[in-house]
Structure 1
Amino acid sequence: MLRLHRPRIALFWQFYAKYFVLFLIPVIVAITFTYFFVVRLIEDDARQRNDIIMTNNSEHIDTAFTALQTTMIHMLSDVNLKSFLPVAGDSLDNQQRNEWLHSLMSQLGKIENGDLVLNAYLYMTRYDLVIDTETHSDKAYYFRFKHPVGDADRAKLFPNLSGKQMMYFTKPYSLGVSPLTPDKSTPPRTVISTIMSYPFNSADPDVYLVLDMNMDVLQERIGGREDWVIGSAIIDGAGQAVVQTGSMEAGSGAANKKTLSSIQSAFNDSWRYVSVIDLQKLLQPARMIRLLSLVFLGFFLVLGSVVSYYLSRKLYAPILEIKTGLATHHEPGRAVRREGNDFDVIKRFSGMLISENNQLSRLVSGMVPMVQEHFVTKLLLGDFRDSGTLEASAKEIDFAYDPKAIRTVLCVEFQYYSRVQEGQSETSRTFLLAELKDRIRKLFPDQTIWLSHTKSDILACVLHHNPGPGVGPKEAAGQIKLELERFSPYYKATIGVGSTVASIEELYISYEQASAMLRFKGVQPEVEICFEEPLRHDRKAWDSYLPMMEVNRIINQCRSRDYDSLLQAVFELLEAGKHVRAFEMKALCSDVLNTWIRAAEHDHADYSIAFYTKLFHMLDGCVTVEELRQAFRDIHALLFRKEEPHVGKGQFDEVLAYIHGHYAEELSIERFAQQMNMSVGHFSRTFKEEVGEKYVEYIAKVRMGKAKQYLLETDLKIDEIAEKVGYWGRNSFIPIFRKYEGITPAKYRNLYSATS
């Protein structure tokens, strides 16, 4: 700096540097503090406030849609609809058909009670019939006079009334003025229809339930009332707006004052709630503080420049004299050190640069293995299939390789046990992986081996086959297996052996085959090696789907409260399939869990989708048969909570035990009252207080429980079942059964046997 043509400039920068260190750095720290802890606080608060508002709006809409979906499912699952479908084409003289028809109209009216649904109707696919809350008619009359849909809008509704539909939302379309209301009392309106078919899983359903949604209510619910929200919309997976309000033009570029805010819908994973936000309004306080901070910083920069320029002019003459003296005392080849002068500063600064350069060199040297491992990862994933590109990329990172060497890829998959997943941090797993890599490298000291962490749970080992004596793929897999057994307390390991390739460009083929071999791992805790050849001869036939007979047996056991047998049956199933492939076992276990859920919903309708998702996650995280057993124990305890009967303590224990053992006999209240030395009235009141139910009600419920068990598990006639549960005949049994179950015994048997 002293050799410049204008040394005063160098002196100016020295003063300015001291001013910067002593004064400006505290100012910059203060401004930075203001920016990061005040401005960012304002910005984050504004964005959080907008996100909270969007989240509340989305939760309300998701809740409304979920409730609507539940209502539609209940409507389509109703006994009246199931009973009506077989006689929908009968004449109007069928009295039973008319009763079911009016019941359906009444149920549709209940759906329209909310402000979100304008109209609800049932569209029969096999009959020329449409049913809504007020009328039922043929399709041509309904969509022309009662629910007029114009020719231009028919394509938005009717193509969707085919195939399987599970709450499908149509595009907005217009409903015209009905010719039956010439006074225009019902103006034209735009609606969105949601459609659900029944039977639910049928590609050729019998009926569609169509709900017309109120566009004004939907737009009001998704639109924010804040002045910084310009527009809001629900966007589906195809990027189309399901519902929109306001302007959705966000623009692009740094100068644009609008931005998008998006939240995923909990109701439909492919939906997102999107808002266009005016950043100028939202972040106006933050912008003002930022501007003041910049002005304040600029003022001190200018002030420092003025002061430094004045001091440099005043002190330049003494500095020039010092510079001349240093030049005369300089000896070539010998370092000159003068405490406090510029040469000493420059010397120390140069030494610092050299030190930093050495540190940077060591850092780069330490990063070379990581870069080379990343290169191997890209090679295994097939990113380098051209020899020219591969050679150029390898040369950049100093990666040496033989293009024509023979190589084989071994894939090691780690499946951490559930107890390890919960109790071990990511850092601990990283250390375990590093230790494993080091041990594998030491296994092959005379043979080149590349290691690459291609996925979070897969370590790829590229084995080079030397021309001389060396270790082959099978032998290498066996040695790695012995090392992996050291880590068996932490995870289950599987080794997939790929094909041997003669070119480095084909290495991805060996990796893909090795990865594919991992699919055939089992559910035993020991380390497995998966080769192609043994798998061809060792693939046992295993039905990974639960037979319908087994499904019916599980459902009947649930209805008869035989919960312990359910768990025992699963344990037997796991024991029988403990030597099959893990994916087959997981598929079968998923079928069992799905059947358990179906059976449990009969008694517990309060479980949520999130609860069921948690159960499947518990099952999916299992690695071994023992973990599957424990998972089913936990799931069994959650799904089939045993309800303790409300029995009285003390004096009524013997009475209740006698009732449960002799429910088929005549159980008169006088007998028990006399036995306990009570009057009939006193016995009845005391029984109600301690047991929680009237004496007659308790006996009836015990008998009805046994009757339902006979109906579902035997082929006995109604008269025979009546006698077995303590009634004289069907005439006295059927009214009691209908009172407690809502339907006759015959309908109960037909309904739940068909469901099973």
Structure 2
Amino acid sequence: MAMMQGTSLIVMDQNRNVVFHQSNLRFVVLIGIGQQAERELAVKQLRAYVLQEKTESWKDCFVLTAVSRLYPSLTENCHKAYQDLSHCLVYRNIHSEDPIIDYDSIRFTWKVYYPLDEIEKSSNFLVSGNVAECIRIINEIFALNIERRIHHYQLVPVAKTMFYYLLKHLEMSNSETKAILALELEFNTQVEAAYHYEGIQSTLIQAVKVIADKIKNGQRSKLNPTFVAQYIEEHYMSNLHLDHMAEKMETSPKYFSNYFKKTFGVNFVDYLNKVRLSHAKELLKNTDMPVSEISEKTGYLNSTTFTSTFKKYFGFSPSEFRKSASTDQLLFGRKK
């Protein structure tokens, strides 16, 4: 039994195989098979047929073909077979080259790469005007999930999480609510309809560019999210403090503090620590630099303050994080 796109409505051939048109070029085919060995042959023939048609009649279409398990020829088993087909479409691998999604070949996994700190970092890059670095992080997250062979349904919420981390910055600008709602609706519609990971990825990257343009066009003075975030990103290693930031933004410390909390959703110190610790984690993972030197390079007055702050935010010390990151690299062949 297979679900595929095609051109027939209801057909019964000489072998009593039946094709039902479900909706929107979606068809269910009932295939009569005598035993398991015949199923394997049928799947092989179906695969060859789909590959041929994709280069000829279906070359301008995207085709998904799923095959259920083998069931006894009883009416009540039709529902079970149909559920198998639905599961095939949901649990399909996001980067499989096989034109057939065979239920018997599905290998379930939950190794989703879902790095909230990296997602937040990409969001910070976007608001600071570094669109290229934001897109680089997005591409890396997709690449690692492809490597882990996660399912299609698992990738969709990852993409949506990244989108909403980015979208929140439009609420800081002067963009109209109606335009934001239209962007959100278009993004969700395209992501839900995407058949392949490339469609999800390109939709997200396009949204990044749209959001970046809207943020850029909405800025008029120094006291705006883009300027503030960019200044912090460029000077996090310095001794930044509230009075200094207020002076740079040409306002009072009290006003800047209230503005920052309302705009970024966290207070200035928390935001600054997250930026500093994000860079510190990269140095811990990718260099042999001593912890004391890393603390200095990321803006902390001494290693004691750096260690206590790191542990407060992550629950473990910089040295423990470095050891864990090194172990993960040995286990998975690359950094998480």
The answer to whether TM tops 0.5 is yes
Residues 346-385 of structure 1 mapped to structure 2, 5 A cutoff: none
Residues 444-593 of structure 1 mapped to structure 2, 5 A cutoff: 447-466=15-34, 472-485=38-51, 486=53, 487-524=58-95, 526-535=97-106, 538-543=107-112, 546-578=114-146, 579-593=149-163
2:267 paired with 1:751: yes
Do the aligned partners of 1:496 and 1:515 also contact (CA within 8 Å) in 2?
no
Residue aligned with 1:464, SS: coil
Letter in 2 for 1:567: I
Residue aligned with 2:8, SS: helix
Q: What is the match of residue 410 of structure 1?
A: 2
Q: How many residues align?
A: 257
Q: What is the match of residue 262 of structure 1?
A: none
Unaligned runs of 5+ in 2: 275-336
Letter in 2 for 1:705: F
Residues 628-667 of structure 1 mapped to structure 2, 5 A cutoff: 628-641=200-213, 643=216
CA distance in 1, matches of 2:236, 2:203: 33
Do the aligned partners of 1:454 and 1:460 also contact (CA within 8 Å) in 2?
yes
Do the aligned partners of 2:174 and 2:218 also contact (CA within 8 Å) in 1?
no
CA distance in 1, matches of 2:233, 2:120: 14
CA distance in 2, matches of 1:604, 1:701: 13
What is the CA-CA distance between 1:573 and the residue it aligns to?
A: 2.1
Change (3 A) 1:474 1:742: farther
What is the CA-CA distance between 1:459 and the residue it aligns to?
A: 1.6
The structure that has the greater radius of gyration is 1
2:190 paired with 1:618: yes
Amino-acid identity (%) = 7
Q: What is the match of residue 433 of structure 1?
A: 7
What is the CA-CA distance between 1:449 and the residue it aligns to?
A: 1.0
CA distance in 2, matches of 1:637, 1:563: 7
What is the CA-CA distance between 1:490 and the residue it aligns to?
A: 0.6
Do the aligned partners of 1:451 and 1:461 also contact (CA within 8 Å) in 2?
yes
Letter in 1 for 2:109: K
Unaligned runs of 5+ in 1: 1-408, 415-431, 647-692, 722-729
Residues 321-400 of structure 1 mapped to structure 2, 5 A cutoff: none
Do the aligned partners of 1:501 and 1:510 also contact (CA within 8 Å) in 2?
no
Q: What is the match of residue 172 of structure 2?
A: 602
Residue aligned with 1:461, SS: strand
Q: What is the match of residue 155 of structure 1?
A: none
Question: Which structure shows the bigger proportion of residues in helix conformation?
Answer: 2
CA distance in 2, matches of 1:548, 1:534: 31
Do the aligned partners of 1:449 and 1:463 also contact (CA within 8 Å) in 2?
yes
Residue aligned with 1:460, SS: strand
Cα-to-partner distance string for 1:470-489 (whole Å, 9 max, x where unaligned): 97223212212222221253
CA distance in 2, matches of 1:585, 1:516: 15
Change (3 A) 1:738 1:528: same
Q: What is the match of residue 714 of structure 1?
A: 236
RMSD (Å), alpha carbons: 4.1
Change (3 A) 1:640 1:711: closer
Q: What is the match of residue 304 of structure 2?
A: none
Letter in 1 for 2:232: Y
TM-score normalised by structure 1 residue count: 0.30
Do the aligned partners of 2:39 and 2:70 also contact (CA within 8 Å) in 1?
no
CA distance in 2, matches of 1:509, 1:582: 22
Residue aligned with 1:459, SS: strand
Do the aligned partners of 2:68 and 2:102 also contact (CA within 8 Å) in 1?
yes
What is the CA-CA distance between 1:491 and the residue it aligns to?
A: 1.3
TM-score normalised by structure 2 residue count: 0.61
Letter in 1 for 2:156: K
CA distance in 1, matches of 2:139, 2:170: 19
What is the CA-CA distance between 1:596 and the residue it aligns to?
A: 1.4
